[in-house]
A = this chain, B = another copy of it.
Amino acid sequence: MAKGLLAAIALACAAAPAMAGEPITLSAMGSFHVGGRLAEIAGQPVREVTFTPGGVPARVDPNGQYLVESMYVQFHVPNPQRGRLPLLMWHGGGLSGVTWESTPDGREGFQQWFLRRGWPVYVSDAVERGRSGFPPPQLIQGEPLFLTVNNPFERFRIGQGQGSWSMDEAARRVLPGSQFPTDTASYLNFVRQVVPRWTTTDAAIIAAYTALIDRVGEAVVMVHSQAGQFGWKVAQARPDKVKALVLLEPAGIGDPGRIEALRGVPQLLVYGDFIAQDSRWPSIRRIGVEFAMKAKAAGADVTVVDLPERGITGNSHMLMMDRNNEAVAQVVQDWLASKGLWQ
């Protein structure tokens, strides 16, 4: 084939980022685990376990070494690549990396949206969530917490607060103008994404995310809700490697005593709708913004976006899966591009 034709083909294959429905080309995909530590259990009885009916019993000795507190990470690297750095997506409490994948009503999520714009996307499950597994009770403090079907509906600014959920779609009190897919099938698909979580494992989660940064190197970190704490604290631990921090409704903050560490880390905070009328979200937002303003006072480049002020309305706490999630993603993308992180 003529050299000119080959060049034309290469150009045509590497066309503009594909939109939803068009193919995605990956130069790499896969998964790995990071972090964790060895821990010991002693003095427990040995059991004989038949793992499957009709199977052959096996001796299971619970005493010995366990590898706990490691973290699962899955990556997809698009071709062509336009994001200058890997984009790490850290989910919120009671959830897993599934947060970023397809939405509960089957549309594309942030994972695919940013892949299509040429970002290498790394999605992880925090320690003791999802594919990261959880340790034996002897090696973890406290008990896991489980959420009832109504809990996220009433707490995540989907419904009108406590008592607003009903299995009967007609009796369900959705916030007027909500962008969350609140038909029964979609909402229950979201409930299926909920996983148990402990409230005692923050230090282990921060250690694992720090190990992830050390493995991946310079990166953009996007966090949601509980992971606000993790994003800020890991940026404080590795300010040379976290080149930008996108905080979607952060529900926790960094270490106020180390605010100086954040002065070189550009930070974008994004908040959805219905906050003023909520019982808890005005405080959650205030705590997050106050922390970010301290970083700004220390010299950091901080932007706070309240989506309704940009004409983007109806967003719940789960704004990456709301019906207008593409408009939310575009706010993040425009900010990242404005910081020179996308070409």
CB-based contact A55/B25 at 8 Å:
no
A197: nearest chain-B partner, CB-CB: B51
Judge if A98 is at the interface, Cβ distance under 8 Å.
yes
Interface flag for A26 (CB, 8 Å): yes
Assess whether B52 is in contact with A150, with CB atoms less than 8 Å apart. no
Q: Tell me whether A102 and B32 are in contact in the complex, defined as CB-CB below 8 angstroms, given that A13-B9, A53-B202, A53-B229 are known contacts.
A: yes
Q: How far is the CA of A77 from the CA of B240 in the complex (A)?
A: 38
A98 to B32, CA, bound (A): 9
Which residue of B has the minimal Cβ distance to A187? B67
* Interchain CA distance A202-B13 in the complex, whole Å: 47
Q: How far in angstroms is the closest Cβ of chain B from A129?
A: 9
Proximity string of chain A (34-67) to chain B, C-beta cutoff 8 Å, 1 when within and 0 when not: 0010100100000001111111101111111111
As for how many copies of this chain the complex holds, the number is: 2
* Interfacial chain B residues near A36, Cβ < 8 Å: 192
> Can you list 11 A-B pairs, Cβ within 8 angstroms, ordered by A?
A9-B12, A31-B98, A41-B148, A50-B199, A53-B202, A61-B148, A66-B146, A72-B192, A74-B101, A98-B131, A134-B195
Chain A positions near chain B (C-beta within 8 angstroms): 1, 5, 8-9, 12-13, 23-27, 29-33, 36, 38, 41, 49-56, 58-67, 70, 72, 74, 76, 79, 93, 96-98, 101-102, 106, 108-109, 112, 125, 130-131, 133-136, 145-151, 155, 162, 167, 188-189, 191-196, 199, 202, 226, 228-229, 251-253, 280, 283-284, 287
Instruction: Taking A32-B102, A58-B280, A65-B150 as given, write out 7 further A-B residue pairs in contact, using a Cβ cutoff of 8 Å, ordered by the A residue number.
Output: A33-B189, A33-B192, A52-B229, A66-B146, A67-B192, A125-B131, A136-B146
